[in-house]
């Protein structure tokens, strides 16, 4: 099996490539290294340096005996998407059209796509299952919904089978230390905590402690990146077995508050973590927790990492 991993030098992509190689598959990374890292490339994988907006290059990469595509390359910062929608429209929407057109032209029929819990917007109930209404409240979330809808049409009209994996809060790093390149400009909780622990930031700002949750801080479902990577390989195998297109939530179903993440960090490091309470961040739902029953029953996926302490440990290693 030969898999083209678009965005394979990035955070989740590099873990997916590792998982593919560990399972004996061939992987070719297509990445423009705009946010990914050269040091995240594995010697055992092929590499094409290219932008998804470069359609001819993408099509050529697709014609190299590829059986399946994992498509991760996209802009992913919620705040930035509200300030610069043009950038997100271009990268995510035109990028998706290019990936699908290149697949249609090269007759590649299996696609695993990085989607996000951001497609749901403000949750109406939780745990959130895949039937929850799609009501994105950020332009980023809107692009993910539209990318999923494009895939639906290419399935109907071109027979491209897809699996959209809606990640909840991806966190942690490969426990064996295989992935060296970190986010250059971290915006998410765990990489920010790492910077505080490393002394690169003075303190963790906790955005809001007046939510209706057990300690007033937001509840999220942190899912380990190696568990996410394993789900991609299961999804590819499922599609190559001829199963229909599908959408899966990927989360642990365990809700953890920001304060509990801070406490887990203190347990792991044995040191106090300096925190400061700051106002709520606009657009943050109080609680985001996944139902992963569908992924468990139809994909055979079960997250290995269920303790936030274990996840934090791999983030800080």
Query: Binding of ligand UDP at residue 38 (CB under 6 A)?
Result: no
- Is residue 211 among the annotated active site residues? no
Q: Which of 34, 281, 282, 317 binds ligand UDP (CB under 6 A)?
A: 281
Query: Binding of ligand UDP at residue 206 (CB under 6 A)?
Result: yes
Query: Binding of ligand UDP at residue 277 (CB under 6 A)?
Result: no
Binders of ligand UDP: how many residues, by CB under 6 A? 13
Query: Binding of ligand UDP at residue 189 (CB under 6 A)?
Result: yes
Query: Binding of ligand UDP at residue 218 (CB under 6 A)?
Result: yes
* Beta carbon of residue 109, minimum distance to ligand UDP (angstroms, whole number): 32
Give Cα separations from 31 to 48, 290, 300 (angstroms): 7, 30, 29
Q: What CA–CA distance (Å, rounded) separates 140 from 137?
A: 8
CA atoms within 13 A on the CB side of 86: 0
The answer to whether the CB of 139 falls within 8 A of the CB of 121 is: no
Query: Binding of ligand UDP at residue 145 (CB under 6 A)?
Result: no
* Beta carbon of residue 270, minimum distance to ligand UDP (angstroms, whole number): 22
Torsion sign (Cα): 137, 141, 147, 152: negative
Query: Binding of ligand UDP at residue 183 (CB under 6 A)?
Result: no
> Smaller CB distance to ligand UDP: residue 95 or 255?
255
Please provide residue 279's backbone torsions phi and psi, each rounded to the nearest 5 degrees. -65, 165
Query: Binding of ligand UDP at residue 264 (CB under 6 A)?
Result: no
Q: Which of 14, 40, 169, 226 binds ligand UDP (CB under 6 A)?
A: 169
Query: Binding of ligand UDP at residue 213 (CB under 6 A)?
Result: no
Q: Name the one range near ligand UDP by CB under 6 A: 29-37, 122-130, 143-151, 183-191.
A: 183-191
Query: Binding of ligand UDP at residue 220 (CB under 6 A)?
Result: yes
Q: Which of 49, 51, 67, 284 binds ligand UDP (CB under 6 A)?
A: 284
The active-site residue, picked from 140, 154, 162, 173, is: 140
Query: Binding of ligand UDP at residue 269 (CB under 6 A)?
Result: no
Query: Binding of ligand UDP at residue 146 (CB under 6 A)?
Result: no
The helix-helix angle for 258-269 and 308-316 (nearest 10°) equals 60
Query: Binding of ligand UDP at residue 188 (CB under 6 A)?
Result: yes
Question: Token pair for residue 278?
Answer: 């700051």
The residues assigned a catalytic role are 140
Residues that bind ligand UDP (CB under 6 A): 169, 187-189, 192, 205-207, 218, 220, 258, 281, 284
């Amino acid at each position: 099996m030969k898999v083209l991993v678009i965005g394979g030098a990035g955070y989740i992509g590099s873990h997916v490539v590792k998982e593919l190689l560990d399972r004996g598959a061939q992987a070719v990374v297509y990445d423009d290294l705009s946010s990914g890292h050269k040091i995240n490339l594995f010697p055992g994988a092929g590499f094409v340096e290219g932008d998804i907006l470069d359609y001819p290059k993408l099509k050529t990469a697709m014609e190299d005996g590829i059986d399946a595509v994992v498509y991760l390359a996209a802009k992913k910062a919620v705040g930035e998407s509200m300030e610069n929608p043009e950038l997100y429209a271009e990268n995510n929407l035109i990028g998706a059209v290019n990936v699908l057109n290149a697949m249609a032209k090269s007759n590649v029929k299996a696609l695993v796509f990085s989607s996000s819990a951001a497609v749901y917007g403000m949750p109406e109930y939780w745990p959130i299952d895949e039937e929850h209404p799609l009501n994105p409240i950020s332009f980023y979330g809107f692009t993910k919904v539209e990318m999923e809808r494009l895939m639906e049409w290419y399935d109907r009209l071109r027979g491209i089978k897809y699996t959209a994996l809606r990640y909840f809060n991806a966190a942690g790093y490969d426990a064996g230390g295989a992935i060296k390149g970190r986010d250059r400009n971290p915006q998410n909780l765990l990489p920010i905590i790492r910077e505080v622990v490393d002394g690169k930031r003075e303190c963790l700002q906790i955005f809001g402690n007046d939510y209706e949750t057990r300690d007033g801080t937001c509840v999220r479902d942190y899912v380990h990146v190696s568990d996410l990577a394993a789900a991609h390989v299961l999804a590819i195998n499922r599609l190559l077995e001829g199963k229909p297109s599908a959408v899966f939530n990927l989360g642990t179903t365990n809700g953890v508050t920001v304060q509990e993440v801070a406490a887990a960090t203190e347990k792991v490091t044995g040191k106090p973590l300096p925190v400061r309470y700051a106002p709520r961040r606009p657009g943050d739902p109080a609680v985001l927790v996944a139902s992963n029953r569908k992924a468990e029953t139809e994909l055979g996926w079960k997250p290995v990492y269920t303790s936030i302490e274990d996840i934090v440990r791999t983030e800080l290693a």
